[in-house]
A and B are shown apart, each in its own frame.
Chain A
Amino acid sequence: DGGITQSPKYLFRKEGQNVTLSCEQNLNHDAMYWYRQDPGQGLRLIYYSQIVNDFQKGDIAEGYSVSREKKESFPLTVTSAQKNPTAFYLCASISGNNGYTFGSGTRLTVV
Chain B
Amino acid sequence: EDQVTQSPEALRLQEGESSSLNCSYTVSGLRGLFWYRQDPGKGPEFLFTLYSAGEEKEKERLKATLTKKESFLHITAPKPEDSATYLCAVFSGGYNKLIFGAGTRLAVHP
Residues of A within 8 A of B (CB): 4, 6, 31, 33, 35, 40-43, 45, 48, 50, 56, 58, 88, 90, 92, 94-95, 97-105, 107
Contacts and interface: CB of A to CB of B under 8 A. Distances in A.
Given A31-B96, A102-B43, A104-B43, A43 B49 contact: no
Specify the main secondary structure of chain A where it touches its partner: strand
Nearest to B34: A99
B97 A97 contact: no
A104 to B, nearest CB: 5
B95 A31 contact: yes
B72 interface: no
B87 A43 contact: yes
Contacts of A31: 95-96
A103 B49 contact: no
Contacts of A95: 46
B43 A98 contact: no
Given A95-B46, A103-B43, A105-B41, 11 more contacts: A33-B98, A42-B4, A42-B102, A43-B100, A45-B98, A88-B41, A97-B32, A99-B32, A99-B34, A99-B98, A105-B43
Interface in B32-85: 32, 34, 36, 41-46, 49
